[in-house]
């Protein structure tokens, strides 16, 4: 039996479960160890130094618990710390996540694309570079969404409050037709249904979860670290907010349609 150690998945809270779902879909026989730092969330409105320190600390926890590879399933933590992590662990299969602008541009060139993300992700050089790369091919509108991840952290995904928040937030960019929305925070796919209700079904919505999961699969394959198990793997949850409610929310989000 080889390579049965878990794939470590990290997020500032429960949002990275939207990436975990994709990982499980693509590599069902792998074991997973998911770590959410809900006690310190949100990361997106903290200082760069704080996010870096928290991310490094949490990745260490996953490695100490035997993770064979790491998915930084948080756009904010990726933009703040992925370069440092790559330097610190040069031999580790490590994949971060970034807003899926490329698929949105390919879907419709010259279109109007709104990128919803945390204030920190949008401010970082990594995002500025990404936007520059595509600015001649589409109109890209960054939309900071402070407060949105908190709805997901509370498991409040279908309520009137969320609808009101999104209606007010998107009102500013809706005056002209939006062709697509990129969900540049791993919490937001859990609010996708409500976003669709607000902007209408003709707006395409993209997120980076599937691409990130495919990249992890590719990296493990190249490194010869895919499991040889022929049966379904396990998913374990760790959270810095160690309550029964938190555990229930994690399980609920993993299986929610
Ligand atoms: N889930 C995180 C992301 O993908 C951010 C949420 C937060 O902590 O602000 O950016």
Statement: residue 244 has pLDDT above 90: yes
Which is higher by pLDDT, 174 or 166? 166
Residue at token pair 């440092």: 84
What is the 15 CA–ligand 1 centroid distance (Å)? 7
Mean pLDDT of 141-158: 97
Contact indicator for 121, 186 with CB cutoff of 8 Å: no
What is the 149 CA–ligand 1 centroid distance (Å)? 7
Specify the pLDDT at position 82.
97
Closest listed residue to residue 72, CA positions, set 46, 98, 48, 49: 98
Give me the catalytic one of 74, 145, 241, 250: 74
pLDDT tens, residue by residue, 40-55 = 999 999 999 999 999 9
What is the 41 CA–ligand 1 centroid distance (Å)? 8
pLDDT level of residue 148 (50, 70, 90 thresholds): very high
Contact indicator for 232, 29 with CB cutoff of 8 Å: yes
Q: Is the CB of 69 inside a 6 Å radius of any atom of ligand 1? A: no
Which of 9, 76, 211 most suits a substitution to test ligand 1, by most atoms within 8 Å of the C-beta? 76
Mean pLDDT of 133-151: 97
Q: What is the DSSP string of 6-57?
A: PEEEEESSSTTHHHHHHHHHH-TTS-EEEEE-TTT---TTS-HHHHHHHHHH
250 is catalytic: no
Which ligand 1 atom is nearest residue 42's CA? 8
Q: What is the DSSP string of 230-243?
A: -S---EEEEESS--
185 is catalytic: yes
Statement: residue 110 has pLDDT above 90: yes
Other residues' Cβ atoms within 10 Å of the Cβ of residue 172:
10
| Rounded alpha-carbon distances, angstroms, from residue 218 to 1, 94, 187, 210, 229 | 21, 11, 24, 12, 17
Residue at token pair 């992890």: 216
Closest listed residue to residue 169, CA positions, set 131, 121, 114: 114
Contact indicator for 155, 249 with CB cutoff of 8 Å: yes
Give me the catalytic one of 145, 185, 241, 250: 185
Q: Is the CB of 118 inside a 6 Å radius of any atom of ligand 1? A: yes
Mean pLDDT of 21-31: 98
Statement: residue 175 has pLDDT above 90: no
pLDDT tens, residue by residue, 214-235 = 999 999 999 999 999 999 999 9
Statement: residue 254 has pLDDT above 90: yes
Closest listed residue to residue 123, CA positions, set 148, 144, 137, 139: 144
Tally of CA atoms within 13 A in the half-sphere of 205 that contains its CB: 20
Mean pLDDT of 249-254: 97
Statement: residue 101 has pLDDT above 90: yes
Share of the chain above pLDDT 70, in %: 100
Specify the pLDDT at position 257.
78
Specify the pLDDT at position 174.
85
Contact indicator for 144, 180 with CB cutoff of 8 Å: no
Q: d(Cα 236, Cα 219) in Å, to the nearest integer? A: 22
What is the 65 CA–ligand 1 centroid distance (Å)? 23
Q: Tell me the whole-structure pTM to 2 decimals.
A: 0.97
pLDDT tens, residue by residue, 178-205 = 999 999 999 999 999 999 999 999 999 9
Max CA-CA distance within the chain? Answer: 57
What is the 93 CA–ligand 1 centroid distance (Å)? 22
Q: Is the CB of 76 inside a 6 Å radius of any atom of ligand 1? A: yes
Whole-number mean pLDDT of the chain?
97
Phi-psi region of 155 (alpha: psi -120 to 50; beta: other; left: phi over 0): left
Q: Is the CB of 79 inside a 6 Å radius of any atom of ligand 1? A: no
| Three-class DSSP category at 205 | strand
Q: Is the CB of 85 inside a 6 Å radius of any atom of ligand 1? A: no
């Amino acid at each position: 039996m080889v390579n049965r150690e878990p794939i470590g998945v990290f997020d500032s809270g429960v949002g990275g479960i939207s990436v975990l779902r994709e990982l499980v879909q693509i590599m069902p026989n792998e074991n997973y160890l998911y770590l959410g730092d809900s006690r310190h969330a949100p990361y997106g409105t903290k200082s760069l130094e704080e996010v870096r320190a928290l991310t490094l600390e949490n990745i260490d926890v996953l490695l100490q618990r035997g993770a064979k590879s790491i998915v930084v399933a948080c756009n904010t933590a990726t933009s703040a710390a992925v370069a440092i992590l790559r330097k610190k662990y040069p031999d580790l299969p490590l994949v971060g996540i970034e807003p899926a602008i490329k698929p949105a541009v390919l879907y419709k060139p010259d279109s109007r694309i709104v990128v919803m993300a945390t204030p920190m992700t949008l401010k970082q050089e990594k995002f500025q570079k990404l936007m520059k790369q595509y600015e001649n091919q589409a109109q890209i509108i960054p939309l900071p969404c402070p407060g949105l991840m908190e709805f997901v952290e509370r498991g409040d995904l279908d309520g009137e409050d969320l609808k009101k928040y999104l209606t007010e937030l998107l009102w500013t960019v809706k005056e002209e037709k939006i062709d697509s929305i990129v969900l540049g925070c791993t919490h937001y796919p859990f609010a996708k249904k409500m976003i669709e209700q607000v902007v209408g079904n003709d707006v395409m919505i993209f997120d980076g979860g599937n691409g990130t999961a495919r990249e992890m699969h590719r990296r493990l394959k190249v490194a010869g670290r895919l499991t040889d198990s022929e049966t379904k793997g396990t998913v374990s949850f760790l959270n810095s907010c160690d309550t029964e409610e938190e555990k229930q929310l994690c399980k609920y989000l993993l299986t929610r349609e």
